[in-house]
């Protein structure tokens, strides 16, 4: 009941069909492409227009990101400090209990 059953390989039912013969496609010469029209240069313009409103929004968004990342890092540092302090207190208590015996 608890012995694993090894699956058997399926047996082929008959001869497989012979592979189909694939002939290479014939290559026909194409028609030459017409010459490209000359491209007129577009006057250079900046990719992004920064108005005072968008600049202020970018500065505000950057400040918010910095504050959030800073708060997360400080909270992680505080969690590590609290863990280290509790481990140190446990070590002192265990050491004092072992020295009294």
The overall pTM is greater than 0.75 = no
Write down the pLDDT at residue 24: 78
B/e letters for 71-84, b = 16+ CB within 10 Å, e = fewer, are eeeeeeeeeeeeee
Per-residue pLDDT of the chain (101 residues; tens, 9 = 90+): 678 787 787 777 767 677 677 787 787 777 777 777 777 776 676 677 888 899 999 999 999 999 999 999 999 999 999 999 999 999 999 999 998 87
- What gap in Å lies between CA 85 and CA 79, rounded to an integer? 10
Please give the pLDDT value at position 1. Answer: 63
> Residues of 53-66 as b/e, b for ≥16 C-beta within 10 angstroms?
eeeeeeeeeeeeee
Q: How far apart are CA 52 and CA 20, in angstroms?
A: 70
């Amino acid at each position: 009941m608890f012995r694993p059953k090894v699956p058997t390989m399926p047996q082929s039912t008959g001869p497989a069909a012979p592979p189909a013969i694939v002939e290479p496609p014939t290559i026909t010469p194409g028609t030459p492409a017409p010459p490209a029209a000359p491209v007129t240069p577009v006057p250079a313009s900046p990719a992004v227009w920064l108005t005072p409103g968008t600049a202020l929004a970018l500065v505000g968004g950057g400040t918010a990101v910095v504050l959030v990342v800073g708060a997360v890092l400080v909270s992680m540092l505080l969690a590590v400090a609290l863990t280290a302090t509790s481990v140190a207190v446990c070590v002192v208590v265990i050491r004092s209990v072992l020295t009294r015996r």
